[in-house]
A = this chain, B = another copy of it.
């Protein structure tokens, strides 16, 4: 049964957390949004045209007759199937809990450039974005990343083997480094274990090959992590 990921083309966005899981597992998947007529296929899915549970928004996954939406939920579904979460209920609960904390962090990153909501353009809310980003960099980012840094007692968040949580933390570090190169360069030394995790994930053969490939959409100002120099103080 093929895995079909539905996510907007042209940006990494929330879909990237799912792509990283497939890539690390070496499991083939269709990235439907990037195929010809991909956006039409996404819109058909949003109207319920794929059967299953109609998603509220991308990303969503089609697998057999099932449709699963929300990044953390897709990863919870894929984790055991891709070998990216330890066996047993406590570990699976822990993984999903951490992924939901990452979801909250990602939403706050998005809010740095869209503090007045997703409907209007960034250009219409620049002064508000400056204020919200200042608070994010000073208060919220350290709270989230400090939490994850402290978790990393072992080699990976859930122990000796890599899980989808580690892949997502790699993406968070990549993204924050892209969006806020000046502020994040100063902050990195406070989270040495998280940076070390990032570097080890980046060096894994499949991740390294993926990031160098044209399957990896470059960071840009359409996604979650956007580089606006006026926000990076």
Contact = CB atoms under 8 A, between A and B. Distances in A.
A94 to B, nearest CB: 4
Interface stretch (A17-25, A113-121, A198-206): A113-121
A194 interface: no
A6 to B, nearest CB: 14
Interface stretch (A27-35, A133-141, A172-180): A133-141
A96 interface: yes
Interface string A114-130: 01111110000000100
Interface of A: 52-56, 65-66, 68-70, 72-73, 76-77, 89-90, 93-94, 96-98, 100-101, 104, 107-108, 111, 115-120, 128, 131-132, 135-136, 139-140, 144, 147, 151
A109 B231 CA distance: 25
B117 A100 contact: no
A147 B77 contact: no
Contact of A93 (B53, B100, B111, B132): B53
Residue from A54, A56, A147 having most chain B Cβ neighbours under 10 A? A56
Given A53-B98, A119-B135, 19 more contacts: A53-B90, A56-B104, A56-B144, A65-B90, A66-B93, A68-B93, A69-B101, A70-B97, A73-B97, A73-B100, A104-B107, A115-B115, A115-B116, A115-B117, A115-B128, A117-B136, A119-B140, A120-B135, A128-B128
Nearest to A135: B117
Contacts of A72: 100
Given A72-B100, A101-B56, A116 B132 contact: yes
Contacts of A94: 53
A70 B101 contact: yes
A77 B89 CA distance: 10
